[in-house]
Chain A
Amino acid sequence: MRQDSDARPADPDLSRTYLLVLVVEAVVLAALYWLGRSFS
């Protein structure tokens, strides 16, 4: 079984990217809601 025994460099903190994913989703959902309200 192959194992990765190399020393691991510190992983960059992606918490701002995670937050951005959720913010973008909220904006897209709001846009879809607006689309339905405005054109229905």
Chain B
Amino acid sequence: MRWLDWLVVAVYLVWVIGSGLRLTRRTGELDGYVRANRSLPWWAVGLSVMATQLSAITLVGTTGQGYADGIRFVQFYFGLPIAMVILSLTVVPFFYRSGVYTAYEFLERRFDVKTRTLAAAIFLAQRGLSCGVIIAAPAIILSIVLGWNLVLTILAIGVPVILYTMIGGVQAVTWTDVKQMTVVVFAMASAVTVLVIGLPAGVSLGGALHLAGAVGKLHAIDFRFDIHERYTFWSGLIGGMFLALSYFGCDQSQVQRYLTAKSLTQSRRSLLLSGFVKIPLQASILLTGALTFAFFLFHRAPLLFNPVHESAVLASPRAAEYHALEREFDDDVERRRAAAVALATTDGETDGRSPAREAFQTADAAVRGVRARAATLVKTVSGDASYTDVNYVFPTFILQYMPIGLVGLMIAAIISAAMSASAGELNALATATVIDFYRRHVNPSAPDRRYVQVSRIATAFWGLFACGVAVYATNLGSLIEVVNQFGSLFYGSVLGVFILALGLRRANGHGAFVGLLAGLTAVFTMAFHPATKSISYLWHNVIGAVVVVVVGMTVSLVTGGPPARDASQ
């Protein structure tokens, strides 16, 4: 990075944090601090909802997935718009009208304190750890590709987030999210522009897409019904819908966002914004990854994108083997480049069996073969069986091919994505800690000022906890999948409890509590048992919800009790 890039990053940080804090009002009161006095417009809340999900993992990991595996990952989001409509019709009015601060507070009104406390504890454990991953992801990548100290990078991202979240609460989080989303979108548009301009003369954008498509990277939809296949139309539509229902409907990091809207209608509209934009946005990020693949057909790409692993192999007794692979790689890359030019300049030919197309596919398979052998060598030398360099593809492109100034903007976008996602989570973690534990179990009648004070302490605690997790989360595989797989262990079961709460009047507290434990047991067993662990993690959300509802209703009917009254009142 050069001085202009550093300046861009510094100006960005001062602008985002300063203006975010300036827009906060009445944060000395609990309602202002955790719910923004219900004063925020739908578009700001909607952008904040999206920013909380759009972490640095999304920018770096998703583009890497697009490069390596194509755009099929977009199927993961197919159930999301349907979930947004369902939530707008069901959960949002319940939460909004009940005047709760947390989703779990609602569970005590409907069931009992033990169900509320268990659900809140699951949220704290799961989100506390995932917040660490969210900070770790960009920190590890930036520290490796830029040669920064890992701990200092984690603190450089984590400390500003802790400070502005502590001071401004949910309002500072929302207004900084809005600016961070703007920066991220602008930076991604810049990256796409550089990718397209960087294509050689004679290779159009259409030609580049044909090249990516020729090796299956634009194959977005797979209609096969195979529960062992990770991403299909059906796993995305059904499993993804359950995941989105749970994440947006039962996870405090999302619920807290839309409880800050001015009215119920504005709350609903903020969620529907994700329904409109999420799939096109994710498809665009994945397509950027596929375009990066096309770009590297014509520009020198390293054999391995992770420079640390490359150095480790070169320092080992097997360095000569690696050098031989590099020579083979250079030859194969040159052959693939020639085949790519031949195919791209005849992109009017869409015949699947054209000689140019087959020559390109053969050349690409050869390049992939050498890279696979290099990866095997790294795994042997480092002992890291889960090695993948997919997360280093996009940062490598940014640092080697983007012009001065835009490198700073892209680094700012990666940092800001990490900050916006972790700020929303820290804020929600602090809110659940104060409302569901401190106020409920420790000090129910303290003045507002005390709760805000404890919220600030809780924010600092969870921020430092997340930074601590980040320091130890060094081996993360494909980052976007790690977070989603981990979340899917819990999402379905928590959703099941809310289905019992909102949809089944005969469900009672004992049923919900036992059902939740049964759902978690079923999902953990399925995820780790040798016979079932190959089932795609998206189905864990469905299984968890179904087990909780079935067991919860059975226990409720056995233990009895009158039908519930409307808990939103």
B280 within 8 A of A: yes
Residue-wise, chain B 84-116 has the 8 Å CB interface mask toward A (1 for contact) of: 110011000100011100000000000000000
* Contact among A4, A9, A20 with B97 in the assembled complex (CB-CB below 8 Å): A4
Q: Is the interface of B mostly helix, strand, loop or mixed?
A: helix
* Contact among B89, B214, B264, B275 with A40 in the assembled complex (CB-CB below 8 Å): B214
> Across the interface, which residues of A come within 8 angstroms of B93, CB to CB?
11
Interface size of B by Cβ–Cβ distance < 8 Å? 37
B350 within 8 A of A: yes
* Residues A32 and B221 in contact, CB atoms below 8 Å apart: yes
Q: How far is the CA of A38 from the CA of B279 in the complex (A)?
A: 20
Q: How far is the CA of A1 from the CA of B456 in the complex (A)?
A: 21
* Residues B269 and A17 in contact, CB atoms below 8 Å apart: yes
Known: A3-B99, A11-B265, A36-B213. A21 touches B221 (CB 8 A): no
CB distance from A27 to the nearest CB of B (A): 10
> Across the interface, which residues of B come within 8 angstroms of A8, CB to CB?
97, 264
Residue of A nearest to B352 (CB): A40
* Residues B74 and A32 in contact, CB atoms below 8 Å apart: yes
* Residues B84 and A21 in contact, CB atoms below 8 Å apart: yes
* Residues B82 and A36 in contact, CB atoms below 8 Å apart: no
Q: How far is the CA of A4 from the CA of B89 in the complex (A)?
A: 19
CB distance from A28 to the nearest CB of B (A): 5
CB distance from B319 to the nearest CB of A (A): 40
* Residues A22 and B218 in contact, CB atoms below 8 Å apart: no
* Residues B97 and A24 in contact, CB atoms below 8 Å apart: no
> Across the interface, which residues of A come within 8 angstroms of B279, CB to CB?
25, 28-29
> Across the interface, which residues of B come within 8 angstroms of A29, CB to CB?
78, 221, 279
Known: A39-B218, A40-B218. A24 touches B81 (CB 8 A): yes
* Residues B209 and A39 in contact, CB atoms below 8 Å apart: yes
CB distance from A29 to the nearest CB of B (A): 7
> Across the interface, which residues of A come within 8 angstroms of B269, CB to CB?
14, 17
* Contact among B85, B209, B219 with A21 in the assembled complex (CB-CB below 8 Å): B85
> Across the interface, which residues of A come within 8 angstroms of B209, CB to CB?
35, 39
B510 within 8 A of A: no
* Contact among B210, B221, B265, B350 with A14 in the assembled complex (CB-CB below 8 Å): B265
Q: How far is the CA of A39 from the CA of B98 in the complex (A)?
A: 50
CB distance from A10 to the nearest CB of B (A): 10
Residue of A nearest to B220 (CB): A32
Residue of B nearest to A26 (CB): B81
Q: Which residues of B contact A (CB under 8 A)?
A: 31, 71, 74, 78, 81-82, 84-85, 88-89, 93, 97-99, 209-210, 212-214, 216, 218-221, 263-265, 268-269, 272, 275-276, 279-280, 283, 350, 352
Q: A24-B275, A29-B78, A35-B220 are in contact. List 7 more A-B contacts (CB 8 A).
A: A3-B99, A4-B97, A4-B99, A17-B272, A18-B272, A24-B276, A40-B213
